[in-house]
A and B are shown apart, each in its own frame.
Chain A
Amino acid sequence: MIGYGEQLKDLKPGAGKRMSVYNERQALDGLQRLDSQAIGAIYDQYFSEVYRYVRYRINDDGAAEDIASDVFVRLLEAVQKRQGPQSSLKGWLIATASHAVNDHLRRHYRRPVEALSDSLPDRGASVHSEVDSREQNRLIQSAYARLTPEQQHVLALRFGQGYSLEETAAHLNKNINAVKALQFRALASLQRQIGEVNYE
């Protein structure tokens, strides 16, 4: 019997696309039957990635762990209802994680979600000049939390997950030029928010 773990190893770089889709389908079939081996294999494959995405977006280890874990429970329930992923399991997991984070932020931080200005940031602000590394991270986290969910999402994918422009475009369901523009505006807003947080 071929284990799901062995099959899913083929999903890693180097595996052909057809094999990847085929194995993912097999894993989803296992999920449909609530097969422990299939569930465990998928979890092992994707949990770390989902957790890092969630943890990037919310600066809270416990909440990130809960949300990442909940994403996989939602996967089980969705597959049981035949509403699970149709093409990309990872895309479904990241999208679900993004929605879960948005829900979490909406409940815990009643922040305005209107788009922040994407005008060019204050050129005089210098990240490295005044604060040490820890304080700088806190500053960036605070600034990041002020971005719109979409801006947070694109930065999490590109800089938190290290996805390529193409992969990010696929997750966002946008073309590459749109992702370039979104990425630029997100970084400009982040830089601006860093200045504002620093000023406060």
Chain B
Amino acid sequence: MNNLYEALEICLQDIEKGADLESVLFRYPDLADELRPILEASAGAKNMAVPAPSPDVVRRNRTKLLQHAAQMREANVKSSRRVWFASMRRLAVTLAVVALLFVSGTGLVGASSNTLPGDNLYPVKRTWEGVRLFFTFNPMEREALEVEHENERLHEVQEVLAEGRSTEVDFNGLVTSQNGNEWVVANVRVLISDQTELRDRGIGVGSPVRVRGITQGNNIVLAERISLLSSDEKLPDVDDSHESEGDNENNSGPGSGNDGPGNEATETVAPQNDHSGSGTNSGTNDTTSSGNDGSSSNDNSGDSDHSSDNSGSNDSGGNGDHSGGGDNSGSGSESGGGGDDG
């Protein structure tokens, strides 16, 4: 059968080249009877071949095709416009939502900027500070921001104390004074109680600390916890030394020539001394307070503490301390008088 197919193909090619039917069949006498009707059919199949379409048909259908392409182009443009408009609409809605969130967010942040500890929006203020800090990558700017935040903490404490509110605060600062159970940290008076958690040993004057506590009505912070600052934590930008001197002056002012011994006495942290001298001090304080107005009594009480501390803490350096204590206790009444004058 393959010979028949092959013979047919050869005959078709020969006819294509111009040979006639009989001559090609002559080459395959054995297959001639079978090939003849096939080749006649192929001649008929070839006669069916049609000429190329007329130029009119070509032109007409060409125009139709190009018109169709133009319609498709137009539809594509409309479709892409629809997509564009849809995209723009989505973008507009997104922008509106973002703007709304931004406005409301910044409004909230703005409203919270002047809040103080204990206010409802105060957490927003602290959170926003955290966010700002998180997105500040320049080390210099970041450090400046941290200092700014610590300044704000200190400012808040002073505001809260000024308003006489009792609320939880925390702030950083240098310890500038330690008079028994009352310290001064960054110009803020801090009261140490039995419940105060002193996390680190060796906290003395000049130590950078973080104070967490509750503001009291008498312009003092009752400390809950005091810990030394780590090296990467920042201090508020306040002139502690100046204020410290001022305190010392206040404390020692009345006791004129005894500044040195008095100050030395305050630098010793000895909670047990408070206990030893507490009876005398409290009596002195009460007396002093009764004769003073509120503002001046603080200094006086500080002086009284000096005297009590000194009297109880004479572990080694006795003389100066004793004399200082005597002078200080005496000065308590003097400054009490000064307070009255004020």
CA gap between A72 and B53 in the complex, in Å: 15
Are the C-beta atoms of B69 and A76 separated by less than 8 Å?
yes
Q: Which residues from A are CB-within-8-Å of B34?
A: 120
Asked if A94 is at the interface (CB within 8 A of a chain B CB), the reply is: no
Q: Looking across the interface, which residue of chain A has its beta carbon closest to that of B47?
A: A137
In the complex, the number of residue pairs spanning A and B with C-beta atoms less than 8 Å apart equals 130
A69 to chain B, nearest CB (A): 4
Asked if A19 is at the interface (CB within 8 A of a chain B CB), the reply is: no
- A120-150, CB under 8 A of B: which get 1 and which 0? 1111011110000000110011011000000
Asked if B73 is at the interface (CB within 8 A of a chain A CB), the reply is: yes
Asked if B2 is at the interface (CB within 8 A of a chain A CB), the reply is: yes
Are the C-beta atoms of B37 and A191 separated by less than 8 Å?
yes
B25 to chain A, nearest CB (A): 13
Asked if B76 is at the interface (CB within 8 A of a chain A CB), the reply is: yes
A5 to chain B, nearest CB (A): 13
Asked if B135 is at the interface (CB within 8 A of a chain A CB), the reply is: no
Are the C-beta atoms of B40 and A127 separated by less than 8 Å?
yes
Are the C-beta atoms of A72 and B65 separated by less than 8 Å?
yes
Are the C-beta atoms of B48 and A144 separated by less than 8 Å?
yes
B187 to chain A, nearest CB (A): 76
Say which size band chain A's interface belongs to: 35 or more
Residue in B49, B57, B61 whose CB lies within 8 Å of A162: B49
Are the C-beta atoms of B69 and A51 separated by less than 8 Å?
no
- B67-88, CB under 8 A of A: which get 1 and which 0? 0111011001000000000000
Residue in A69, A127, A177, A187 whose CB lies within 8 Å of B65: A69
Of the 9-residue stretches A20-28, A42-50, A96-104, A108-116, which lies at the interface with chain B? A42-50
Asked if B199 is at the interface (CB within 8 A of a chain A CB), the reply is: no
Say which size band chain B's interface belongs to: 35 or more
Are the C-beta atoms of A69 and B48 separated by less than 8 Å?
no
Asked if B5 is at the interface (CB within 8 A of a chain A CB), the reply is: yes
Q: Looking across the interface, which residue of chain A has its beta carbon closest to that of B5?
A: A180
Asked if B4 is at the interface (CB within 8 A of a chain A CB), the reply is: yes
Are the C-beta atoms of A184 and B45 separated by less than 8 Å?
no
Of the 9-residue stretches A8-16, A32-40, A83-91, which lies at the interface with chain B? A32-40
Q: Looking across the interface, which residue of chain A has its beta carbon closest to that of B9?
A: A180
Name which of B8, B48, B50 has the most chain A CB atoms within 10 A of its CB: B48
Q: Which residues from A are CB-within-8-Å of B44?
A: 127, 136-137, 140, 143, 190, 194
CA gap between A51 and B8 in the complex, in Å: 28
Are the C-beta atoms of A48 and B52 separated by less than 8 Å?
yes
CA gap between A125 and B61 in the complex, in Å: 42
Are the C-beta atoms of B68 and A73 separated by less than 8 Å?
yes
Residue in B33, B45, B50, B52 whose CB lies within 8 Å of A155: B45
Q: Which residues from A are CB-within-8-Å of B69?
A: 34, 36, 39, 76
Residue in B6, B33, B36, B46 whose CB lies within 8 Å of A159: B46
Q: Looking across the interface, which residue of chain B has its beta carbon closest to that of A42?
A: B65
CA gap between A67 and B136 in the complex, in Å: 70
CA gap between A126 and B37 in the complex, in Å: 8
- B1-16, CB under 8 A of A: which get 1 and which 0? 1101110110000000
Residue in A52, A76, A128 whose CB lies within 8 Å of B52: A52
Are the C-beta atoms of B49 and A159 separated by less than 8 Å?
yes
Asked if B58 is at the interface (CB within 8 A of a chain A CB), the reply is: yes
B278 to chain A, nearest CB (A): 92
Q: B-contacting residues of A (Cβ < 8 Å)?
A: 34, 36, 39-40, 43-44, 47-48, 51-52, 55-56, 65, 68-69, 72-73, 76-77, 80, 120-123, 125-128, 136-137, 140-141, 143-144, 155, 158-160, 162, 165, 177, 180-181, 183-184, 187-188, 190-191, 194
- Additional 8 contacts, C-beta under 8 A, given A56-B48, A184-B8: A34-B73, A34-B76, A36-B69, A40-B66, A125-B37, A140-B47, A160-B45, A190-B44
Between A and B, 27 residue pairs with Cβ closer than 8 Å are A40-B66, A43-B65, A47-B53, A51-B52, A51-B57, A52-B49, A52-B51, A52-B52, A52-B53, A56-B48, A69-B65, A76-B69, A120-B34, A122-B37, A123-B33, A123-B37, A127-B40, A127-B44, A137-B44, A137-B48, A140-B47, A141-B48, A159-B42, A180-B6, A187-B42, A191-B37, A191-B38
Q: A-contacting residues of B (Cβ < 8 Å)?
A: 1-2, 4-6, 8-9, 33-34, 36-38, 40-53, 57-58, 61-62, 64-66, 68-70, 72-73, 76
